[in-house]
Structure 1
Amino acid sequence: MSSDFGLDPRRVDPEYDRHGGFPVFEAADPGPGFGRFLTAMRRAQDLAVSADPDPDTWNDAADRVEELVALLEPFQAAEGVGPSNRVPSLPGAGSLLMPPWTVTKFEADGVELQVTFSRYHVGGNSAVHGGVLPLLFDSMFGMVIHATGRPISRTAFLHVDYRRVTPIDTVLTARGWLREAEDRKAWVNAELLDADGNVLAESNGLMIRLLPGQP
């Protein structure tokens, strides 16, 4: 088995920038207002699934959200142009799709995140929805690929074992690493742990390097 640690992915794959128009994500600097916006939107997501006001308040809230949509709609941009998912200093890199994680390690031998789930992520009984964890692990697999210097890859499969209930409103640690690699294939592992080091869930998957022209 071989690994391409430390290599510029363009040396391994000259078509790195041209996989079916796969966007090249460069860091964005949208200003402090974007961070404030994300914080408010995350809280709004929590309240959207937990608030129980009177009907008039729901109508008032809908009016305000529609005003926000009208404000932002003229500025809708293509993938890779807007700041979402392009601000590494913000939780989840500035993407509301992602759980609000922050990177604490990004090295060839592994990636580590701190993540806190909230009411928005609950599936039932104050536990994180089981479908949210594959999203976290899949994102981590992509980070591992980048950290090892391997070219753009897509997930071929992802398996999750749920060991314990994942709680909300507490800081958790996610770790991911490249187990082995051969040609276009990279096998990746990850785990999610609580503050006491208990494994809440673990995952393994296969990432496949894209061929020229593959989106």
Structure 2
Amino acid sequence: MGERTPRSIRVDGLSSLPATPQRRQQRRLAVAARELITRMVTSSAGEADLAAAADRLEEVVDLLGEMPAEHIYEGFSEAANAGPALRAMAMAMAIDSGEGNGEDPDHGTAESDEERSERLGFFDQSPLIGLANPLSPPLVLEHDPSSPERIRGTVNFGPAYEGPPGCVHGGHVAATFDELLGAAQSLSGTQGMTAHLEVDYRSPTPLGEDLELSGWVQRTEGRKIWARGTLHVDRRLCAEAEALFVAFGPGDFQVLLEARGG
């Protein structure tokens, strides 16, 4: 058998996330909040109507404020240097590819849907691909079935992301490339953090239209991974980007967790 092509951690992590009852409601809440944002930025209501809406929204904020809250990485913040967080990602990838059985390789015990949902839930909180994050457009990423060396994506930006009239703000385009290429870099067989991102804007990126993205690994050198990507609408090139990622280990990730109080 030939050597197996590496998979993208964030693509497989999100796609293998169990839809527990709690997660379904989190995503439902995010859909409502996403629609709320759209209605807010396009509303031309008068003072009285806006005041009434604000009053009701403040009630919802108070309601959520009474509920438990935690950092999105708390599910595995004890990950420390043994790297169970990275192990959880590897488990998700193995299960998705049919090579795993859902067991923790270190402990030989199968995870329940609730346990996996908690440990992998941070993928669902991404501001770009997370279905439980109202800031997410969301960007949908998948392995390109016609080219295993590529990640492809689709996204449709609403009015909340407007920059120039009728166009997506360039900052959101850049963030989208960061997420796309962050997924594509995993195809190198390792994972790193963004060290440099360069975007060339070739033509306006329209709001309200289905945008198509493609990302791939350009080359690797030691801990460095270079990836490139494109963004098109109806075959018209809107932007292209190149990013440099630097690989890190579980210990490096733990430093970030400790610095943010995780």
Corresponding pairs, count: 194
Q: Distance in 1 between matches of 2:214 and 2:7?
A: 22
Q: Secondary structure at the match of 1:200?
A: strand
| Amino acid paired to 1:43 | E
Runs of 4+ in 1 over 6 A off after TM superposition: none
Find the residue that maps to 2:52 and give its secondary structure. helix
What's the TM-score, normalizing by structure 1? 0.78
Q: Give the aligned CA root-mean-square deviation in angstroms.
A: 2.9
Kept after mapping to 1: 8 A contact 2:156/2:211: yes
1:93 aligns with one of 126, 130, 144: 130
Distance 1:108 1:79 in 2: 30
The aligned residue for residue 65 of structure 1 is 57
Question: Which position in structure 1 is the counterpart of 2:17?
Answer: 27
Indicate the residue corresponding to 1:156 in structure 2.
195
2:28 to 36, 49, 74: 36
Structure 1 residues 50 and 37: CA distance shift in structure 2, 3 A? same
CA deviation string 1:9-61 (max 9, x = no partner): 9xxxxxxxxxxxxxx99835334333322222111111221112111111112
Aligned pair partner of 2:48 in 31, 35, 56: 56
| Equivalence map 1:70-89=2 (5 Å) | 70-73=62-65, 74-80=67-73, 81=75, 83=121, 85-86=123-124
Question: Quick one: distance in 2 between partners of 1:199 and 1:164?
Answer: 7
Tell which has more relative contact order, 1 or 2 (C-alpha 8 A, sep 6+): 1
Structure-2 residue corresponding to 1:202: 240
User: Aligned in 2, Cα 1:55/1:162: closer, same or farther, shift over 3 Å?
Assistant: same
The answer as to 2:98 corresponding to 1:105 is no
State the shift of 1:148 in Å.
Answer: 3.8
Q: Give the counterpart letter for 1:57 in structure 2.
A: D
TM-score (ref. length: structure 2): 0.65
1:137 matches 2:177? yes
Question: CA offset at residue 211 of structure 1?
Answer: 4.9
Conservation of the 8 A alpha-carbon contact between 2:8 and 2:187 = no
- Unaligned ranges ≥5, structure 2: 76-117, 257-262
CA distance 1:212–1:84, shift in 2 (3 Å)? closer
Cα distance in 1 for residues equivalent to 2:134 and 2:50: 22
Q: By how many angstroms is 1:212 displaced? A: 5.8
| 1:45/1:120 contact within 8 Å kept | yes
Contact 2:211/2:231 (8 A) holds in 1: yes
Unaligned runs of 5+ in 1: 10-23
Alpha-carbon spacing, 1:56–1:85, altered in 2? closer, same or farther (3 Å): farther
Kept in 1: contact 2:154–2:213 (CA 8 A): yes
Does 1:213 find its partner at 2:251? yes
Q: Against the structure 1 CA distance between its residues 72 and 146, is the aligned structure 2 distance closer, same or farther, given a 3 Å change threshold?
A: farther
Bigger share in helix: 2
Q: What corresponds to 1:180 in structure 2?
A: 219
